[in-house]
Structure 1
Amino acid sequence: MREFIVEADGGSRGNPGPAGYGSVVIDAATGETLVERAEYIGIATNNVAEYRGLLAGLRAARELDPAAPVRVRMDSKLVVEQMSGRWKIKHPGMKPLAAEAAGIYPPGQVTYEWIPREHNKHADRLANEAMDAGKRGEQWDPGASMAALNAPSPVSPAPRTPSGPPGDATAGAAKARQALAEGRAGSTPALGDAAGTATVTGTGTGTAATSDADRRAARTLASPSPAPASGQAQPAVGWGAAPDLGAPATFVLLRHGETPLTPEKRFSGSGGSDPALSAVGREQAER
């Protein structure tokens, strides 16, 4: 019997703020991406955007085959637990959305699974594309999105370290040195889990806020890398893998010069003020 996987996500830049969702329907047997859906929905909260993403994904799967069982995978602990019936839905704005999602398929045909955020990057990328398009006053373009992603199957992604926002440069440098030392000892560096470290993800200009429940679930699933057996050779760098990895990736890191907000440890750019370089920043750029 044919089976679908629906991965969905939603985000709000402000919570509430400009919001959008992304959904993808995947063939569970082959890992093939069958349908992508995304939409800018105006001003809304994270939770509303996540539920809207779920609704879009379930409807897309039903259009393909209403008899196929569906596995929903989301990084929203709230939506997964509420739709699984383990958490009560107290917010009046969530109840009609949850009821609508529950009515798309007969009871028992849809199951829900929480996944870490880094395993939900396809739907997260679509949500950010929709929000970016809405910011430009445009509609999300599904053709451009489908062309951008035909990567290995997202059904069984490799474990990744949860990423976090960039922050204080001093703290980031200390974290990087610690991770490098751990890497030389044979463990996997976790460079994205503290302030001061930025993980390059390739697409999307913003991500949804992560709830406390999601962070607790991520910590529950996290486990340290096993120590190498006695006498086993240590890898030369902080991770080990099979020798045939294909062409190596090249990362180009660009440093922005100082702005008036830099000494205050504040961010500049999308979603806020975007000040020009300060006198110190212009001097840095010239150097």
Structure 2
Amino acid sequence: MVYIINLYADGGCRGNGRPGAIGAAAVLFKKRKGRWRPKHSVALPSSPPPTNQRAELTAVILALEMALKQPAKLRTDPWLDVTIYIDSKYAKGCMSEWIHNWRQNGWINARGAPVVNKDLIMRASALDSQLRKIADVEYKWIPREQNRRADELCNEAMDAQY
């Protein structure tokens, strides 16, 4: 039996990378009949300064953590089919493509510079590896309009920081 998990994740930042910037990340489950299940959001720490990229990667981390908690809630031990929908091509690229080359190149990017946000990418990668022991995992880019619910939750988390 396969248990399907659809997660919608989004991150955002106001004042991107500048002193005083605030950021947040959010994730929601979408149930079979289109209803939304428990949601989770977090504020980004002030150091290092929040950026859109850090927020989007934090959203991926939240989604992976939520997916890893699901087996404990089930009565059986099914294989999981996890899809994480994100509107960030950067986060999708990090998790699906670039990470493999970065690891091989000692975390140096194509321009010869250290990979930015390595801490979050490594954390997401570790969670991804753990989840792949019990699940198929796919990262799907979707247009922002299709991620409106996660975007709203993210904005609410940033509004609460004022």
Note whether the superposition's TM-score is higher than 0.5. yes
Kindly state the Cα deviation for residue 106 of structure 1 after the two structures are TM-superposed: 1.3
Q: Which runs of 5+ in 1 are unaligned?
A: 136-287
Name the amino acid aligned to 1:25. Answer: F
| Residue 47 (structure 1) aligned with residue 53 (structure 2) | yes
Give the whole-Å Cα distance in 2 for the aligned partners of 1:100 and 1:22: 20
After the TM superposition, list the runs of 4 or more consecutive aligned residues in structure 1 that deviate by more than 4 angstroms. Answer: 86-89
Kindly state the Cα deviation for residue 62 of structure 1 after the two structures are TM-superposed: 2.1
Give the whole-Å Cα distance in 1 for the aligned partners of 2:27 and 2:92: 15
1:179-205 residue CA offsets vs partner (Å, 9 max, x unmatched): xxxxxxxxxxxxxxxxxxxxxxxxxxx
Give the whole-Å Cα distance in 2 for the aligned partners of 1:26 and 1:62: 16
Give the whole-Å Cα distance in 2 for the aligned partners of 1:133 and 1:104: 32
Number of aligned pairs?
134
| Residue 93 (structure 1) aligned with residue 93 (structure 2) | no
Give the whole-Å Cα distance in 2 for the aligned partners of 1:52 and 1:22: 8
TM-score for the superposition, normalised by structure 2: 0.73
- Alignment counterpart, residue 78 of structure 1, candidates 90, 102, 105: 90
CA contact (8 A) 2:64 2:128 kept: no
Q: 2:38: which partner in 1?
A: 35
3-state DSSP of counterpart to 2:44: strand
Name the amino acid aligned to 1:54. Answer: V
Change (3 A) 1:98 1:58: closer
Change (3 A) 1:65 1:30: farther
1:243-265 residue CA offsets vs partner (Å, 9 max, x unmatched): xxxxxxxxxxxxxxxxxxxxxxx
1 or 2 for the larger relative contact order (CA 8 Å, sep ≥6)?
Answer: 2
CA contact (8 A) 1:18 1:131 kept: yes
Give the whole-Å Cα distance in 2 for the aligned partners of 1:104 and 1:15: 31
Give the whole-Å Cα distance in 2 for the aligned partners of 1:96 and 1:9: 19
CA contact (8 A) 1:15 1:46 kept: yes
- The alignment-based identity, stated in percent, is 28
Give the whole-Å Cα distance in 1 for the aligned partners of 2:69 and 2:12: 25
Give the whole-Å Cα distance in 2 for the aligned partners of 1:58 and 1:37: 12
Kindly state the Cα deviation for residue 97 of structure 1 after the two structures are TM-superposed: 3.5
Change (3 A) 1:98 1:62: closer
Q: 2:75: which partner in 1?
A: none
- Alignment counterpart, residue 23 of structure 1, candidates 22, 27, 31: 27
Give the whole-Å Cα distance in 2 for the aligned partners of 1:100 and 1:14: 29
Change (3 A) 1:104 1:24: farther
Instruction: Give me the CA root mean square deviation.
Output: 2.1
CA contact (8 A) 2:64 2:124 kept: no
- Alignment counterpart, residue 65 of structure 1, candidates 71, 81, 84: 71
Name the amino acid aligned to 2:44. Answer: I
CA contact (8 A) 2:67 2:131 kept: no
CA contact (8 A) 1:59 1:104 kept: no
Structure (1/2) with the larger helix percentage = 2
Kindly state the Cα deviation for residue 86 of structure 1 after the two structures are TM-superposed: 5.1
TM-score for the superposition, normalised by structure 1: 0.43
Q: Which runs of 5+ in 2 are unaligned?
A: 73-78, 103-108, 110-114
Q: 1:110: which partner in 2?
A: 137
Instruction: Give the structure with higher Rg (CA).
Output: 1
